[in-house]
């Protein structure tokens, strides 16, 4: 046996809040999104909408002040994302709650803990911004995501029996919330 054995390198995992796209970012983000959609990831699309539509969508996310795009990187390439959505300013009654939307990891990048890291990063940012509650919804068909959210402390509070229409079949959706901090004291209003 020679001394030339190759050591297995640990994958480089990174979660970041993206404010602008780097050189290859939009390409790898769209590639990961296509793969997640094809795998049944509940991103809203049932079939990939095409590269132009995805690029327009993600560029638009960066332009909306109430949305923050988080990406998961595996060895430098974007392999998933999630969006933190803050309520509009005119929604005073629900100003304490934000939403976690469109969270996914491409099938080829799963198994490294990136989904947990991505969720934790969105939660931490929501706490930094002063939110008390983080809401999310997911298709019933996404058993792994449901188990991950439940293990992360999310509470399922309801379901919608006709949440999505996938290939002509109604799919139930589950609604979750997580308390990020204690509620504010009541002011008697």
Given this model, what pLDDT does residue 184 score? Answer: 66
Using only the alpha carbons of the chain, give its radius of gyration. Answer: 18
Q: What residues make up the domain containing 76?
A: 13-130
Residue 189 lies in a domain: no
Residue 77 lies in a domain: yes
Mean pLDDT of 144-158: 97
Q: 1-39: per-residue pLDDT in tens?
A: 445 555 688 999 999 999 999 989 999 999 999 999 999
Residue 107 lies in a domain: yes
Residue 113 lies in a domain: yes
Given this model, what pLDDT does residue 189 score? Answer: 44
Residue 139 lies in a domain: no
Token readout for 58 is 């993600």
Which residues neighbour 133 within 8 Å (Cβ) at sequence distance 6 or greater?
A: 96, 97, 98, 177, 178, 179, 180
Domain count, the chain: 1
Residue 149 lies in a domain: no
Q: 70-109: per-residue pLDDT in tens?
A: 999 999 999 999 999 999 888 888 899 999 999 999 999 9
Q: What is the CATH number of the domain that holds 18?
A: 3.40.630.30
Q: Is 170 left (phi over 0), alpha (psi -120 to 50) or beta?
A: beta
DSSP state of 153: T
Residue 105 lies in a domain: yes
Given this model, what pLDDT does residue 182 score? Answer: 77
From first CA to last CA, the distance across the chain in angstroms is 77
Given this model, what pLDDT does residue 181 score? Answer: 87
CB 80 within 8 A of CB 106: yes
Q: 112-145: per-residue pLDDT in tens?
A: 999 999 999 999 999 999 999 999 999 999 999 9
Residue 188 lies in a domain: no
Helix axes 114-128, 143-151, angle to 10 degrees: 50
């Amino acid at each position: 046996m020679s001394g030339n054995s190759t050591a297995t390198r640990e994958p480089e995992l990174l979660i970041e809040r993206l404010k602008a796209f780097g050189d290859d970012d939009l390409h790898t983000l769209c590639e990961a999104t296509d793969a997640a959609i094809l795998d049944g990831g509940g991103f809203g699309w049932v079939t990939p909408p095409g590269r132009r539509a995805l690029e327009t969508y993600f560029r638009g996310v960066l332009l909306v002040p109430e949305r923050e795009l988080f990406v998961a990187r595996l060895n430098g390439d974007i392999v998933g994302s999630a969006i933190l959505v803050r309520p509009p300013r005119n929604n005073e009654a629900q100003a304490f709650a934000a939403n976690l939307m469109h969270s996914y990891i491409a099938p080829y990048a799963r198994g490294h803990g990136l989904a947990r890291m991505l969720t934790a990063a969105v939660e931490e940012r929501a706490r930094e911004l002063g939110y008390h509650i983080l809401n999310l919804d997911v298709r019933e068909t996404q058993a792994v995501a449901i188990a991950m959210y439940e293990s992360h402390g999310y509470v399922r509070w309801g379901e919608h029996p006709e949440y999505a229409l996938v290939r002509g079949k109604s799919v139930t959706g589950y609604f979750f919330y997580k308390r990020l901090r204690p509620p504010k004291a009541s002011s008697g209003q």
